């Protein structure tokens, strides 16, 4: 039987390599080597390289959805947005490779894992959009959700990749400042 720990090791190794080099430049051999398992074990646990990427995306989106939904629960308006943004920044901090892959893949269409990427967009952009819609009927809520998600994703990755000595609060403060603009004077 496939051990869950082996699967997690394979997914973590694959996410690190794909985040660094891109999907096509990463081979199953590379993934096996990095995970410290036999190539056969990779194929035993996941049918193909595309299936591994699917699993990385699904694991990431699961975590993102879960944290954003629970951050939103019982809140509305700016308060909900601030807590959802904080949850999303936590996911970027804890799953930086997933976030990098997301940034790389979210606007590519026609790839095999398009559906999983669509689920991430739905989880992130649409959740923000739903909260923004009643606050700002004058704006296109979906584009606004995209803008908020973009500010979280890029500020979060900028932090993790180039300024990781900064505290979490500095990133959150920046996103909160922008979110404040959605409250009509």
Query: Is 147 within 8 Å of 141 (Cβ atoms)?
Result: no
Q: Which stretch binds its own copies (CB under 8 A): 5-13, 29-37, 55-63, 136-144?
A: 136-144
Q: With CA atoms as reference, report the closest residue to 88 among 10, 38, 32, 145.
A: 145
Q: Which stretch binds its own copies (CB under 8 A): 2-10, 14-22, 30-38, 43-51?
A: 14-22
Q: Which stretch binds its own copies (CB under 8 A): 8-16, 37-45, 68-76, 158-166?
A: 158-166
d(C-alpha 68, C-alpha 81), whole Å: 9
Q: What are the Cα distances from residue 91, in Å, to 114, 123, 153?
A: 21, 13, 10
Least CB distance to its own copies at residue 45 (A): 24
Query: Is 9 within 8 Å of 55 (Cβ atoms)?
Result: no
The C-alpha R_g of the chain, in whole angstroms, comes to 18
What's the DSSP call for residue 123?
Answer: I
If binding is defined by CB under 8 A, does position 161 make contact with its own copies? yes
Measure CA 97 to chain center. Answer: 9
Least CB distance to its own copies at residue 42 (A): 19
Exactly one of 21, 39, 48, 70 binds its own copies (CB under 8 A); that residue is: 21
Least CB distance to its own copies at residue 184 (A): 9
Please identify, using beta-carbon distances, which residue of 2 and 50 lies nearer to its own copies: 50
Helices 141-162 and 168-180: crossing angle in degrees, nearest 10, is: 160
Strand, coil or helix: what is 26?
A: coil
Exactly one of 39, 104, 112, 164 binds its own copies (CB under 8 A); that residue is: 104
- Total binding residues toward its own copies, as defined by CB under 8 A: 51
Contact residues toward its own copies (CB under 8 A) are 19-25, 100, 103-110, 125, 136, 138-140, 142-144, 146-155, 157-159, 161, 163, 166, 170-171, 173-175, 177-182
């Amino acid at each position: 039987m496939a051990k869950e720990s082996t699967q997690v090791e394979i997914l973590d190794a694959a996410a690190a390599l794909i985040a660094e080099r891109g999907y096509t430049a990463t081979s199953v051999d590379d993934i096996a080597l990095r995970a410290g398992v036999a190539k056969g074990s990779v194929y035993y646990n996941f049918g193909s390289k595309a299936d591994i990427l699917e699993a990385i995306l699904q694991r990431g989106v699961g975590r993102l959805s879960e944290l954003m939904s629970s951050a939103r629960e019982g809140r509305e308006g700016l308060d909900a947005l601030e807590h959802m943004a904080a949850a999303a920044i936590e996911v970027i901090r804890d799953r930086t490779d997933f976030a990098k892959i997301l940034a790389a893949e979210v606007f590519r269409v026609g790839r095999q894992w398009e559906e999983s990427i669509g689920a991430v967009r739905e989880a992130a952009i649409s959740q923000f959009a739903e909260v923004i819609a009643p606050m700002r009927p004058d704006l296109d809520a979906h584009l606004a959700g995209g803008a908020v998600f973009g500010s979280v994703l890029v500020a979060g990755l900028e932090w993790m990749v180039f300024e990781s000595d900064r505290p979490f609060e500095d990133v959150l403060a920046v996103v909160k400042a922008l979110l404040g603009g959605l409250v009509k004077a």
